[in-house]
Structures are given as structure tokens and as C-alpha cells.
Chain A
């Protein structure tokens, strides 16, 4: 069965510091990979996605993620965090051939210290 793991439930960083949020997936082939951000009481906003090709993908708001097949990982990074980045971050896997079903990780809550 497919699964998505975000090992870090909560992360606190100082404003201006770098950030890396981890995501590992379990799937027999390469799935479609996504990172979403959710502010309190709001819907999901797509940060970036990976389907194929270049394993380093750029997203909005200065985020990037790197797909590493050997590690079944798709970690999200940002070189310098802003206070407005405080939110909940979800990694998601879209499994080809399943009618576009998505499987979400448990989420990582990011706190940014001024």
C-alpha cells in the first residue's frame, strides 16, 4: 500500500534561517509528488510538484524540492525563511492509474521565530 511519511511533526526555525522539511514515500514506482501549504482555517495551496525530468524542482515563494529515487524522498527546502511561512506543510503522493487519488503525509507544522 502507498504511504507518505513526514517524520517531523513540528519544526521551529528563526526568521532568515534555512529550512528543510522531510518527506518519504512508499510506492513501487515513481509517483507524482507534491508539496502543499495550509494556513490555519484555509485550504491547500500548491507549492510545487514533480512528475518527471529534472529532480530539483522550483516552486512558489522561494521553495524548492529534490526528488531522490534511491531514498524515496522528496524533501522541501527554502534557503531563508520568512515569518509568513509559518503554516502547515503537507507532502502528497499521486498514484498513477488510481483515478488520481492522492495520499497525504501527516503534515509538518512550521513555527518561525522573529
Chain B
């Protein structure tokens, strides 16, 4: 089956610094990828849609200048959390559609802790 990887799996950074999270589709190409955020004991909330070759589409309430998304190739999307603050600490998950587009394949997630 299709595999989506994320790197790193966990990261700790200091407040005010930036951190980049990578999402890769390992055995298929994805012109679109999605980024989700999940707080402890809560559901996944769609943050943005990453589009290869064009700007990302952000959900309402998500700061585009804070969460920079770059879809550099058909297999790679990156999420950069800029000037991170403790409230940005969360579990970030990416996904990519494949096949006929009916399904999403999810990455294993990245645990971000901002101290």
C-alpha cells in the first residue's frame, strides 16, 4: 500500500525558533497533501491544503505567516512553524490522497514540543 512518511517523528524546540516538518509520499506522487493538527485527547483539525506548484490553501483561523507550507515536489511537502510558542506544541499529521483520490494515506505524525 501507499506509504507516507514524516520527519522528524518528534522535535523539541525553544520558544521563538522555527522548526520544519517534512511529509513525503514514498511510492506515489501527490499533487495535493493535507496538514492536520491534533491536540491531546482531541480530533484532527485540518490546517491547510498543500498544492504542488502553487500556494497552499489555509483553513479559517490558521495563520499562514506562522505555518509556512511549501510543496516542493510531487513527493514532498514541508510545514514550517515559525517563531514557535508553547501553544504551538501539538501533534502534526500529514496526508496524501492516492488511487482514484478516494482515500487518504496518513503519515505517522510529528510531535512538536515548544519549551
Stretch of B14-22, B41-49, B64-72, B78-86 with 4 or more beta carbons under 8 angstroms from chain A? B41-49
Least Cβ distance of B109 to chain A in Å? 5
B42 & A106 in contact (Cβ 8 Å cutoff): yes
Interface residues on B, range: 20 to 34
> Measured between alpha carbons, how far is A42 from B6 in the docked complex, in Å?
12
B104 & A42 in contact (Cβ 8 Å cutoff): no
B104 & A90 in contact (Cβ 8 Å cutoff): no
Q: C-beta contact mask, A15-51 vs B, less than 8 Å → 1, else 0?
A: 0000000000000000010101000011110100101
| A49-B32 contact, Cβ under 8 Å, with A43-B93, A44-B93, A100-B97 | no
Interface of A is mostly: strand
Q: C-beta contact mask, B101-115 vs A, less than 8 Å → 1, else 0?
A: 111101111010000
Q: Which residues of A contact B45 (CB under 8 A)?
A: 104
Chain B residue with Cβ nearest A52: B102
| A101-B43 contact, Cβ under 8 Å, with A42-B108, A51-B102, A94-B102 | no
> Measured between alpha carbons, how far is A105 from B32 in the docked complex, in Å?
22
B95 at the interface (CB under 8 A from A): yes
Q: Which residues of A contact B106 (CB under 8 A)?
A: 36, 43-44
B104 & A43 in contact (Cβ 8 Å cutoff): no
B44 & A104 in contact (Cβ 8 Å cutoff): yes
| A101-B108 contact, Cβ under 8 Å, with A43-B93, A44-B93, A107-B42 | no
Query: Can you list 8 residue pairs at the A/B interface with Cβ under 8 Å?
Result: A32-B102, A42-B109, A44-B93, A100-B104, A103-B46, A104-B44, A106-B43, A107-B42
Using a CB–CB cutoff of 8 Å, the interface residues on chain B facing chain A are 32, 34, 41-46, 49, 91, 93, 95, 97, 101-104, 106-109, 111
Using a CB–CB cutoff of 8 Å, the interface residues on chain A facing chain B are 32, 34, 36, 41-44, 46, 49, 51, 90, 94, 99-107, 109
